[in-house]
Structure 1
Amino acid sequence: MARSPFTLAAAVTAALSGAEVVGARTLTADGDGRFDSAVVTLADGRELAIRVGDDDETARELASESLALRALTAGARAMLPFRAPEYVGETRLADGRALVTELLPGFQIEASHVPAGRGAAESMGASIAAVHALPASVVRSAGLTARSAEEAREEVRQLVDRAAATGRVPARLTVRWREAVEDDDLWRFESAVTLGGVQATSFLFEDDPDAGPSVIGLVHWHGLALGDPAVDLAWLSSATDAAGDVHAAYAQASDRTPDGALAMRARLLAELEFARWLVHGDALHRTDIMDDAAALLTALAEGLRENDLSVIAQRSEGVDSAMDALGRVPETASTRVNIAMETDAYNPRDLLPGEDDAVADEPGGGRAPGGDAVGGDVYVGDSTEDLSDLADSDLLPRDESAQSDDSIFPVAQPVDASPAGSDDADPADEAQRAARAALQRWTNSSSE
């Protein structure tokens, strides 16, 4: 790993015949260091993202991403109200698999900072509904995974059993999950085309003067499949403020049969991500991963009230799920956040002239809900290296001395955007101001 942008730029010429590379820089949103990655500039002005995966897991992810992006035909893309990255090409780099895709612009908002109301939340809900409205043939014709409701249910049942077999799952969670698996009403749904687990950072935004931040791009397509639509809403367990509005916008935009158990199933799947992390650690014989997952599960169980033990009761009585306890999970017990790979920073001040003083200039450091550091000065738009003589050269040798860039893409932070004396202001306008303030905060946490 740790290949330099020069080496990765040279690989682009192997993946894209005739490419004339004139510049390269580090890809700041680099997928938590799991890939070697770079942004490559071509002579025609296009910018491409290249990622290289050296181990089996990252190589499989890139292979799945490649297949999914090619499955999105022009007709399928025309049905989406946003852009998906275009597949450009693939090659091998030493023992690694390299995937080259179009680089999409946009900014991202961490789940816990997505504001409620008009703007980001509504746009995210409508975007998820658009993916779920794609015809099943998009998945089936590409030979991608297709699961019925019963198959999805059986997969959850096996996960619960495997997690329980480790002896590290609190008994009250095991009881809760097994009861949910046996609740027939929870699993009556129509399979849909899904991203297989969209995250808040899968959405790329731009600011609209009238509507507020809106989705213009969507990344993370490697999980494209036919299955439970709830998997793409599970991330809302971390979006406390926006969850209701995202669900409402999704329901309004969807032309599918209403699914009364959708929100509850999404919360259940979010809880089971901790069980999945535990099983992953057990399979690798990694006690550190298992201890991390066990700490998360213990915190989750401790947050359960007595009337939370039954998923069936929650569905019928509207009681919040155990995911409400996530806000009390210790920062040292973290899930892994996978930041988008097909986008990079740009300067949003160009979009918002005259609004630089809207919020105070504060550093964007801290810990994300999943435990990763966020924010900070990671914009590298001015660090492009001149590679005009590289286009016709052979692949450069691997640069063992280069270090991988583990910086995290700056994410929006919530600020109080309400003007003084606005007690009687329209709530919708206030929500839009909050959404735009998130973009402003991102602006001030980016360097130029």
Structure 2
Amino acid sequence: MTTPKSPLELAALATSAVPGMRVSALRPPSYSDELSSVTGIEDAAGNRWIVTCPHEEVSGPALEATSGILDRLGQAYEHDYIPFDVPRLAGQAKVSGGASVYVHRDPGGHAPTPEELDSDLLLPASLGRALAALHNLPETVFSAIGLPTYTAIECRDRNLALLDEAAREVTIPPSLWSRWEAALEDVSLWRFPSAPIHGDIQERCLSVQRGSVLAIGGWTSAHVGDPALDIAWIQATASDNFLERFRETYGHERRATDLHVFTRAQLLSEIALVRWLVHGLHAEDSSVIDEARAMIADLATDLDGEPLLPSHATAMGAHSSAEASPVSQEPAQPRSTDAQASTDSRPIKWRDRSTVSERDTTAQEGDTGAATMPVSRPASAVSRKLAEGEVDPAAPTERLRLGPDGTLLR
């Protein structure tokens, strides 16, 4: 594992990856997380580039798969199958310690701002079209190059395993545990067609300009799985008005029938806090663990024992009205297995902790928890799909043509 690189170090390494490059300036994006160090640069000719150095050594097969993703999505963009571009690899070089640095052309635009995710009138529809188009691609676009493929049940089981792993180390608030357990054991939520997904959508992956998604980067977590995972970040961070426009466009553009995609997105946006906790446990990073525990405790307080779906209230039992307790370091009790399934799909919206809450005039000063409020999937999109009989969730569009190896053809 390599140490994080500073923007200046990445700029110097870029000159080795692209012979003849003369770096004249640093520019956004610039960050370093648990996966990689990234910075933007500008060369003497005014061209803009993105430099990435993964912290884990990238194996041959993994590098081939990542390159294959960008190649195939680049073809899909050029053939108008998807409305967004992807980073194009310009060069790469090995660095000390066995790691590599990669230089891609900057597609332009900028990461969406909080203001754009709150009130932009055009971006919700553009983002809805972009993700629907990605999810409409045939599975073989990803699976043919060896990317992981998970069925609906396997997606559910992976989330169950994540919760069980966290519960062995810390105690999850009982109200949250019951809420998540009831949702994961509701078989009606886990009947959906797997699709090619990005796997880690967030602000810094998106390049937008004037309300339009120009490009999507950061494809290291791409696989065939639950489309709700790509929507979870939007569900947790965007405003209600943004989310309503996004849902309407996504539901109209998506060709497969997935009646509970937004309910699962809400669930996955909450479980993302557990994923962050587990990351901290693996890294033995006390600051990450403490932050994740605080966020989980705040979420339990915000939701106040409310089930994800009304029909889960019985399955949650006594926990449905229990007061959430702080996350402690005591091991949790084993997960029960007697929750009953439900077919009611009314999702519940949880706004992220950065949003100012108006839920309770008696809240303590400094509380940044957000209100829990109901949202519903636009009935028009669901009604249209049912009326049109779109019951083959995995069928590609007629204009998609695939070669023997899964590549897109004109």
- Which structure 1 residue ranges, 5 or more long, are not aligned? 208-212, 331-368, 371-448
**Alpha carbons 2:166, 2:277 under 8 Å: kept:** yes
TM-score by length of 2: 0.69
Taking a change above 3 Å as real, the CA distance of residues 77 and 227 of structure 1, as seen in their structure-2 partners, is farther
Deviation string, structure 1 residues 286-336 (Cα, Å, up to 9, x no partner): 333222111111100011144436564497373624x24735699xxxxxx
Residue 162 of structure 1: which of 161, 165, 168 is its match? 165
Task: For 2:105 and 2:95, locate their aligned partners in 1 and report how far apart those are by CA, in whole Å.
Answer: 19
1:318 matched to 2:346: yes
Q: Which residue of 1 aligns with 2:152?
A: 149
Match of 1:281 in 2: 280
Return the alpha-carbon distance in structure 2 between the equivalents of residues 120 and 161 of structure 1: 37
2:336 corresponding residue in structure 1:
none
User: Contact 1:303 / 1:325 at 8 angstroms: preserved in 2?
Assistant: no
Higher relative contact order (CA 8 A, sep 6+): 1
Q: Report the counterpart of residue 291 of structure 1 in structure 2.
A: 290
Q: CA contact under 8 A between 2:26 and 2:41: conserved in structure 1?
A: yes
Query: Separation in 2 of the partners of 1:309 and 1:49?
Result: 40
**2:133–2:254 CA contact under 8 A, matched in 1:** yes
Q: 1:335 — aligned with what? A: none
Match of 1:214 among 212, 215, 218: 212
Instruction: Within 5 Å, give how 1:408-419 maps onto structure 2.
Output: none
Shift in Å, 1:185 = 0.3
In structure 2, the residue matched to 1:20 is: 20
TM-score w.r.t. structure 1 length? 0.64
CA contact under 8 A between 2:309 and 2:344: conserved in structure 1?
no
Instruction: Quote how far apart the aligned CAs of 1:97 are.
Output: 1.7
Instruction: Tell me the residue number matched to 2:73.
Output: 72
Return the letter of the residue paired with 2:229.
V
Q: Residue 22 of structure 2: SS of its match in structure 1? A: strand
Is 1:119 the counterpart of 2:122? The answer is: yes
Superposed CA offset, 1:212-247 (max 9, x none)? x21222222222211100011001221123111111
Secondary structure of the structure 2 residue equivalent to 1:190: coil
Q: CA RMSD in A?
A: 3.3
In 1, the alpha carbon distance for the partners of 2:78 and 2:221 equals 17
**In 1, are the aligned partners of 2:49 and 2:104 still within 8 Å (CA)?**
yes
Which stretch of the first structure deviates more once superposed, 73-82 or 183-192? 73-82
d(CA) in 1 for partners of 2:38, 2:110: 21
Is contact 1:197-1:234 (8 Å) kept?
no
Q: Is the 8 A contact 1:8 1:37 kept in 2?
A: yes
Paired residue secondary structure (2:153): helix
Change (3 A) 1:13 1:201: closer
Change (3 A) 1:222 1:4: closer
CA distance in 1, matches of 2:132, 2:345: 26
> Is the CA contact (8 Å cut-off) linking 2:197 and 2:230 kept in structure 1?
yes
Aligned-residue offset at 1:263: 0.6
Does 1:265 pair with 2:264?
yes
State the shift of 1:126 in Å.
0.7
Deviation at 1:88, TM superposition (A): 2.1
Distance 1:3 1:237 in 2: 30
What secondary structure, in the 3-state scheme, does the structure 2 residue paired with 1:266 have?
Answer: helix
Counterpart for residue 41 of structure 2: 39
Could you tell me which runs of 5 or more consecutive residues in structure 2 were left unpaired when the two chains were aligned.
314-342, 358-367, 370-410
CA offsets, 1:227-282, max 9 Å, x none?
A: 1000110012211231111111111111222x111111001000001111111222
Where does residue 181 of structure 2 map in the other structure?
178
1:41 Cα shift? 2.1
Q: Which amino acid aligns with 1:231?
A: L
Query: What is the DSSP-based 3-state SS (H/G/I as helix, E as strand, rest coil) of the residue aligned with 2:53?
Result: strand
Aligned 8 A contact 2:176 2:305 in 1: no
Instruction: Tell me, yes or no, if the aligned pair for 1:76 and 1:138 is still in contact at 8 Å.
Output: no
Partner of 2:322: none
1:25 alignment partner AA: A
- For residues 44 and 146 of structure 2, the distance between their equivalents in structure 1, rounded to whole angstroms, comes to 33
Given that 1:195 and 1:232 are in contact with CA atoms closer than 8 Å, whether structure 2 keeps it comes out as yes
Cα distance in structure 2, aligned partners of 1:238 and 1:87: 30
What does residue range 359-398 of structure 1 map to in structure 2 within 5 Å?
none
Report what 1:225 is aligned to: 223
Distance 2:283 2:29 in 1: 27
Alignment of 1:323-342 (within 5 A): 323-324=350-351, 326=353
Change (3 A) 1:173 1:311: farther
Amino acid aligned to 2:188: D
Partner residue of 1:104?
A: 107
Report deviation, 1:116: 4.9
Aligned pair 1:92/2:112, yes or no? no
Q: Amino acid of the residue matched to residue 247 of structure 1? A: R
- SS of the aligned residue for 1:256 comes to coil
Change (3 A) 1:316 1:4: closer
The question of whether the paired residues in 1 share the 8 Å contact of 2:231 and 2:265 is answered with yes
**Residue 183 and residue 99 in structure 1: after superposition, are their counterparts in 2 closer, same or farther (change >3 A)?**
same
Three-state SS of the structure 1 residue aligned to 2:287 is helix
Q: Which letter maps to 1:47?
A: R
Q: Contact 1:25–1:40 (CA<8 Å) still a contact in 2? A: yes
Paired residue type of 2:52: R
Compared CA separation, residues 60 and 172, structure 1 to 2 (3 A): farther
Whether 1:30 and 2:30 are equivalent positions in the alignment is: yes
CA deviation after TM superposition for structure 1 residue 67, in Å: 4.8
